[in-house]
């Protein structure tokens, strides 16, 4: 694919049809910031909880209203092409999910240029390890991992993590990968790689699509459901990557499914999680509560 076309395919805002590209980006940040401000004002929470020793290794936990001994943990990794975004503007789904008895965790990680891809993958993996150790009473309720865009890539890497070296195997009960990239090789030829400084070796090592055949020693149980989601107005390359990743998951024995959500793009597919009646919000709740 010519470099110019690759640049277009991997520029999600250029595929938004409801508004101009720059406005779509601004709106996304605005809605995320407003949702986070509201969540912090209206929900019980623990903010900036360190899950490691690094300055950027923090997470926010938002608790359900009902005081119970155990609740499902919904863990969210934000997007932003591994170089933008923050947990402080990513609590889109907190109010609808906590209202239904789900605890929501929004994880920060060191974005580029401070953080390398290897570091980001290690950080999000350790955040899950921390949560399993911090809330062992949730063992029978489970952890559900969700990521958007670059965060979906990180969530997919968590799916393939080698847990034995971390000394704990988290009770992962479901993965939701939203509008992600699972083979990083095409990014090498785009402007998105400028702050990442990603080499072909980095791309190979951190492409979950290329490592599915090599099952880790103690992976997530293959019966754990993995839902790969893409928006109707995501680019053809995002559609291709999502379909191929889902197909490869199935081929090697994972319980994976693919869903294209109609009438949404790369941004409002997540913005709409502020609404309990949203299609994706309902999918999340049905996945957690096995309805």
3-state secondary structure of 176: strand
Cα–Cα distance between 85 and 274 in angstroms, integer?
Answer: 17
221 flagged as catalytic: no
Structure tokens at 55: 């300055």
Alpha-carbon distance values, 176 to 153, 203, 257 (Å): 11, 22, 10
The active-site residue, picked from 88, 127, 266, 278, is 266
Place of tokens 């090697």: 252
Helix (H) or strand (E) holding 33: helix 21-42
What the block records as the tokens of 242 is: 């999502």
**Annotated catalytic residue within 149, 179, 207, 242:** 149
C-alpha 222: how far from chain center: 19
Per-position b or e across 201-223, b if 16+ CB within 10 A of its CB:
ebbeebbbbbbbeeeeeebbeee
Catalytic residue among 88, 122, 183, 234: 234
- Dihedral sign, Cα of residue 208, residue 87, residue 194, residue 8: positive
Catalytic status, residue 242: no
**C-alpha distances out from residue 196 to 73, 113, 180, 184, 270, Å:** 30, 6, 17, 11, 24
Give the angle subtended at the CA of 287 by the CAs of 171 and 254, to the nearest 5°: 65
223 labelled catalytic: no
**Residues annotated as catalytic (active site), given as ranges:** 149, 234, 266
């Amino acid at each position: 694919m010519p470099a110019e076309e690759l640049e277009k395919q991997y520029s999600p805002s250029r595929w938004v049809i409801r508004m101009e590209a720059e406005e779509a980006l601004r709106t996304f940040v605005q809605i995320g910031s407003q949702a986070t401000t509201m969540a912090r004002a209206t929900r019980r929470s623990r903010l900036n909880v360190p899950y490691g020793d690094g300055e950027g290794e923090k997470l926010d936990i938002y608790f359900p209203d009902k005081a119970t001994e155990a609740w499902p943990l919904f863990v969210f990794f934000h997007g932003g092409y591994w170089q933008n975004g923050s947990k402080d503007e990513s609590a889109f789904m907190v109010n609808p999910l906590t209202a239904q008895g789900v605890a929501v965790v929004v994880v920060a990680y060191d974005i580029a240029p401070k953080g390398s891809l290897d570091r980001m993958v290690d950080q999000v993996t350790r955040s899950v390890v921390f949560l399993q150790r911090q809330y062992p009473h949730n063992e029978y309720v489970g952890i559900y991992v969700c990521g958007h865009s670059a965060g979906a890539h990180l969530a997919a890497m968590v799916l393939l993590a080698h847990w034995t070296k971390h000394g704990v195997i988290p009770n992962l009960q479901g993965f939701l990968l939203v509008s992600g990239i699972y083979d990083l090789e095409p990014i090498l030829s785009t402007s998105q790689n400028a702050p990442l400084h990603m080499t072909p070796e980095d791309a190979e090592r951190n492409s979950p699509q290329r490592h599915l055949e090599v099952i880790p020693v103690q992976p997530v149980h293959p019966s754990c459901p993995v839902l790969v989601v893409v928006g109707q107005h995501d680019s053809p390359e995002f559609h291709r990557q999502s379909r191929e990743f889902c197909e490869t998951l199935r081929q090697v024995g994972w319980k994976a499914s693919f869903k294209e959500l109609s009438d949404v793009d790369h941004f409002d597919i997540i913005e709409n999680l502020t609404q309990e009646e949203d299609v994706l919000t309902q999918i999340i709740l049905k996945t957690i509560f096995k309805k």
